[in-house]
Amino acid sequence: MATNTEKIEQLIPKVIKLETLLEEKADRLGHEISLLREDFRRVQQLCDTHVQKLAALEERCKSLETGATRNWQVWLALLAAGIALLVSFLKK
């Protein structure tokens, strides 16, 4: 039967190997985290850009809707004036 000291001495190489593997894994994970942070920053910048473009498009859409409403009002006023002129000529 092995003594506690012998068991500990047998486990030391395994512990050292596991420590090395864990350090390598921690380094890889740290690198992956930095890559993910860079990706997140790029996506965040892209989202900010799209939010700005969307706001500009919404403003343009509002102005186009206002212009379209005014154009219809002008055409309706001209049509009414034309009908009024036609009626006045036909009454004479």
Is 71 domain-assigned? Answer: no
pLDDT in the model for residue 2: 81
Q: Which one is predicted more confidently, 63 or 28? A: 28
pLDDT in the model for residue 40: 97
> What does the DSSP assignment read for 58-80?
HHHHHHHHHHHHHHHHHHHHHHH
Is 50 domain-assigned? Answer: yes
| Mean pLDDT calculated for residue range 15-42 | 97
The count of structural domains within the chain is 1
Q: How confident is the model at residue 11 (pLDDT cuts 50, 70, 90)?
A: very high
* Amino acid symbol at 88: S
Domain containing 36 equals 1-66
Separation of alpha carbons 16 and 14, rounded Å: 5
Is 84 domain-assigned? Answer: no
Q: Say yes or no to pLDDT of 68 above 80.
A: no
Is 2 domain-assigned? Answer: yes
Q: Say yes or no to pLDDT of 90 above 80.
A: yes
